[in-house]
Structure 1
């Protein structure tokens, strides 16, 4: 094996942060495989486009021939699977797309990786890892006062997205127990930070506020999430890859529970400070819109296992992370403008226009 990691979905939000982090510190060579669907963006990998230690390949994780060829050519010491359809609202509109990528795609990848792993020497098989990046949404929803999700919390997905991720998690676990493949699963809370596709809450609010558009908040904005800065998440994945025990699951969270409306007001305050307008505070743009179907009330992650066993803790406070996030979007307007054309605009119209009318 080489000092190489195959990263699927590496042109997406979290994947690109991980790839850039590895290459900035020259920790490993990276092969990035990404289908470049709506959320995959080569502009996110611009910093490594001329890096000899990085190879980009456009392709589908369900293409077994391509995966087999990449594994044979580059002989990676690890495969990290970020590739997924991730947006709950999109899953409600088109659940089949989530089954194709998150379930069928993961199963195909596991089959290709298993064949590669079996052909390695004994020492190489011992060192190899397959790390699957998942979500806290597989655990379902919590009420106020209920204890946070742990790695032993039963799965209870409530959306097509979380159901598809739950299925993929189970297949990863099954490949470890049935075939001995050294797998790891991480379940993270809500990520935020640079390069996030602007259909998600935080970048959507930033881009809408700067354009003086309404800031649509589902229901009364009381739904609660645990917020995790993306660079902290990527550091945690590295720690799990290096020190995690094969077959185990590790929850990754930010220890930062906030309601959606608190998030939006915090963003407005940062924007008021960085780009004030004579028209008044950005919070004047907040509009409460009809809620989405099956909207989980609360997620919370208990990170005791990764903290105690592997020594990881989040570095960023929400205050420092949200300011860095806003500053990045202000400094990278061409990235945002390129994404906001075409298909993205159609999606925003499909998802939000009727809710605003309601």
Structure 2
């Protein structure tokens, strides 16, 4: 079992990672007058019995609400339903809510906890690899038709219990999605390890020990950044590497049409091409990431259905944009991220180059 401490101005909490981590739930809900669970419907079917057993053993009679799997739960309609659920369940400011599912469920449930009675405590119990990123750091949000994660709040959990026993039922597409964020954490934090990881890691051959090691490494990178910049005023923006273009692809495909991690992988390759163009970075890291993505089945040609002008419209709605300017996290080299203002012309040129390199369009 590994424990990573997250320390912010408002709250300090532990992220516990390993088999059986859910057993730590009793201590987090011991003083709650009511406990409510918001769970991904599919996860509840697979692992709900495990969570119920832990709660029963702790003598907790929890209210329970299932929500649709994936991004389809991150809507204004489902957000409203969570608020009514918490009210009907008799939750107060002394209550604790549990988010049980992947990143989308955690985003919705965290925002529900942030908004209900202007903020109640909640625990993140992530069940996907992708959620090792989203469950840590207190960002919560839902989508709007015109953009991803456009309405939300910063609301830190009181604890994160990452029970790796629950990852064994993940399909390959979810492993791919989650590992994109794990790769991102290495790229933005380590010049020494980035190329070696990309050249050697094969998702199909990865064992549980290596998986846990990469998850914990990613959590440590994020915990360090969040501790220095909780509200994304400076270095926390680096965690958005690959997300500006990636979110645009995800939105254009229709939420759920491509997984978040697959979209971020596309966005990271695009951002590295931009880095070549804007900062003079070499191609070695870009080529290594593209080769890694192709070897491990990432759908890099998904953008073939989405012209640049449509993607640009989504990028202009990105939360890093200001006064009509586009801002991207770039990598002059691995481990040295920086935020740069980028022109529409450079964005279009990088999009064209991405399409050529991935075989979407001819030279």
TM-score by length of 1: 0.29
TM-score by length of 2: 0.29
Task: Indicate the structure with greater helix content.
Answer: 2
